[in-house]
Amino acid sequence: MKKYDYIIVGSGFGGSVSALRLAEKGYSVLVIEKGKWYSKDDFPKTNWNLRKWLWLPSMRFYGIMKMTFYNHIAILSGTGVGGGSLVYANTLPKPHSNFYKNGSWAELADWESELSPYYEKAKQMLGAVLNPKLETGDGILKDLAISRNQESDFSLTDVGVFFGESEDEVDDPFFNNKGPKRSGCTYCGACMTGCMHNAKNSLDKNYLYLAQQLGVEILSEQEVYDVIAKGEGKGNEGYFVKSKSSTKFFKKKLEFEANNIIFSGGVLGTMNLLLKLKEKSLPNLSNELGNSILTNNESLIFSVTNDTKRDLSKGVAIGSILNIDEKTHLEVVRYGEGSGFWRLGMLPIARGSNIGSRFISVISTFIKNPIKYFKLAFTRDFAKQSIVLLFMQQIDTSLQLKKGLFRLKTKLSSGPRPSAQIPLAFELAEQYSKLNNGKPMVLLTETVLNIPSTAHILGGAVMGSSAENGVIDKNNKVFGYENMMICDGSMISSNPGVNPSLSITAITERAMDRIGVKVS
């Protein structure tokens, strides 16, 4: 049984930051990741290659994106070495001030001030730069802003992408040649199926790459299923960590020993594991575990056009943003040419309080424009002629994740039930689609079941002043156990209202800064 100073469960934004910073302080570190290693040549060319795009082990699909459906929300998340960075839209906005003043963490620190230098460090490490190119879909969003007298609220996004002068490979441009060689962005729009051009600043090209140079071990295709506190069961003597294969029929089991453990498997990974462990191996975890699950109040609406002269697939995945108000934001999201998988689940926007009225709404909408909707459904290249409108808000709705009979289940915790029918989102989608000479369409689960989708599930292990109102303290240490931390989207204690990757990185940087150098 090999022993480490730290074992990190998960290799996403929290896990990768932790790995590098701990290695720099002299600690021995093992990162355990259930997903696979992916290089630029391994990614699917389009999202029709489900085996490489979707994570669905029951079907022997071991791709980079996972879709999970609950009775309140549908969740898109990432898998693989580098976690969500492999499949995310590389967009790195800093939240507005409301983010720091709401939620269970609000009174624990002056967060906006404290996190400011860590946001800058995170942006530098992730190579965040202003998107230099306004493409067709972004131009339409700017036109929408102008039509709403909000041109000053439109801007290009900060993105983690290398915009080299050519597509030729060059020496590392970010870390004084300590990082891997890179190639310039081609604006192909395929960021979310995995960058095949070596231009996306995913975590395997910065934090994890540098961590490996310092001796960090990364074990892929292994899923942690048990963590046992040694000694008196408080973690002061360390932990035994057990894992099994996540991709093989015959589940090879491994066991390790660690002085410290950090959970960084993302909200679903961390909640799924810790809610199981609380019943047996780690009973002292706070009863708040699984509470305060935040959805960012998102809506994903496609704007589909019959105008074949337009190519909406060109650009970085998210190249622009419109700040509708202080709490509401709209981004345009694209997929690369040929990635038309989502067309299989598209229906017109439907309004109604129950499934019957929504079904009638869909039929009525189709009858009014049957030829147009038929053409939209069978457009030659759906990715070229569609763009996703990502609507995000800061509101106080929260869910609870609970352990069910066979899998986790959701329960409404506070605020209104999450809804796929957000009037302002529909209004903006219709305005955008009019400028796009198209029609707004949504996923079948939203029209039929009124279940919204989110790519930014957060919370479940929020910060608090004690175990009575949080799972971790302001320094990410778990209440009830020593030498245990949580550093991933679970720790986010307030709706950011924007893409959360930069915030997860910055908060983890702060947590790691509070750990001392290893004393021999």
Residue whose tokens read 């029709």: 48
Average pLDDT, stretch 488-505?
95
Say whether pLDDT at 449 is over 90: no
Phi, psi at residue 90, to the nearest 5°?
45, 35
pLDDT of residue 93: 95
For residues 18 and 264, the answer to whether their CB atoms sit within 8 Å is: yes
Helix H or strand E segment including 423: helix 423-435
Average pLDDT, stretch 194-209?
97
- Residue 33's closest CA among 92, 90, 84? 84
pLDDT bucket at 1, cuts 50 / 70 / 90? confident
Provide the percentage of residues in the chain whose pLDDT is more than 70.
100
| Largest Cα–Cα separation, the chain | 75
Residue type for position 394: Q
pLDDT of residue 270: 98
Average pLDDT, stretch 22-27?
98
Rounded-to-integer distance, Cα 351 and Cα 423, Å = 9
Average pLDDT, stretch 465-488?
97
Q: What is the pLDDT of residues 235-290, one digit of tens each?
A: 999 999 999 999 998 878 999 999 999 999 999 999 999 999 999 999 999 999 99
The Cα-based distances of 77 to 86, 258, 314 in angstroms read 10, 28, 23
Which domains, from first to last, does the chain contain? 2-129+158-164+191-294+456-513 (3.50.50.60)
Rounded-to-integer distance, Cα 477 and Cα 471, Å = 8
Rounded-to-integer distance, Cα 328 and Cα 34, Å = 35
SS3 60: coil
- 278: alpha, beta or left, given left = phi > 0 and alpha = psi -120 to 50? alpha
Give the residue numbers annotated as catalytic, written as ranges. 456
Residue type for position 303: S
Provide the percentage of residues in the chain whose pLDDT is more than 90.
81
Residue whose tokens read 């903006």: 428
pLDDT bucket at 448, cuts 50 / 70 / 90? confident
Residue type for position 475: N
Residue type for position 77: S
pLDDT of residue 296: 83
> Does residue 250 or residue 487 have the better pLDDT?
487
Phi, psi at residue 425, to the nearest 5°?
-65, -45
For residues 471 and 65, the answer to whether their CB atoms sit within 8 Å is: no
Contacts of 268 (CB under 8 A, 6+ apart): 66, 68, 75, 77, 408, 457
> What ranges in 200-326 are assigned the alpha helix state H?
207-213, 266-278
Residue type for position 32: I
Average pLDDT, stretch 89-111?
95
Rounded-to-integer distance, Cα 141 and Cα 373, Å = 23
pLDDT of residue 232: 86
Q: What is the pLDDT of residues 287-343, one digit of tens each?
A: 999 999 998 888 899 999 988 889 999 999 999 999 999 889 999 999 999 999 999
Phi, psi at residue 302, to the nearest 5°?
-85, 140
Rounded-to-integer distance, Cα 98 and Cα 34, Å = 35
> Does residue 7 or residue 358 have the better pLDDT?
7
Q: What is the pLDDT of residues 45-86, one digit of tens each?
A: 999 999 999 999 999 999 999 999 998 999 999 999 999 999
Residue whose tokens read 């002043």: 465
Structure token digits, residue 273: 């594991």
Give the burial string for 322-339 (b: 16+ CB within 10 Å, else e): bbbeebbbbbbbbbbbbb
Residue whose tokens read 């093989």: 248
**In the chain, what is the straight-line distance between the N-terminal and C-terminal CA atoms, in Å?**
22
> Does residue 2 or residue 166 have the better pLDDT?
2
Structure token digits, residue 462: 């929020």
Average pLDDT over the chain, rounded to whole?
Answer: 94
Average pLDDT, stretch 92-116?
95
pLDDT of residue 101: 93
Residue type for position 404: G
Q: What is the pLDDT of residues 114-165, one digit of tens each?
A: 999 999 999 999 999 999 999 999 999 999 999 999 999 999 999 999 999 8
Say whether pLDDT at 39 is over 90: yes
Say whether pLDDT at 231 is over 90: no
HSE toward the beta carbon, residue 17, CA cutoff 13 A? 31
pLDDT bucket at 406, cuts 50 / 70 / 90? confident
pLDDT of residue 491: 98
| Burial group, residue 264, by CB count within 10 angstroms (0-12, 13-18, 19+) | buried
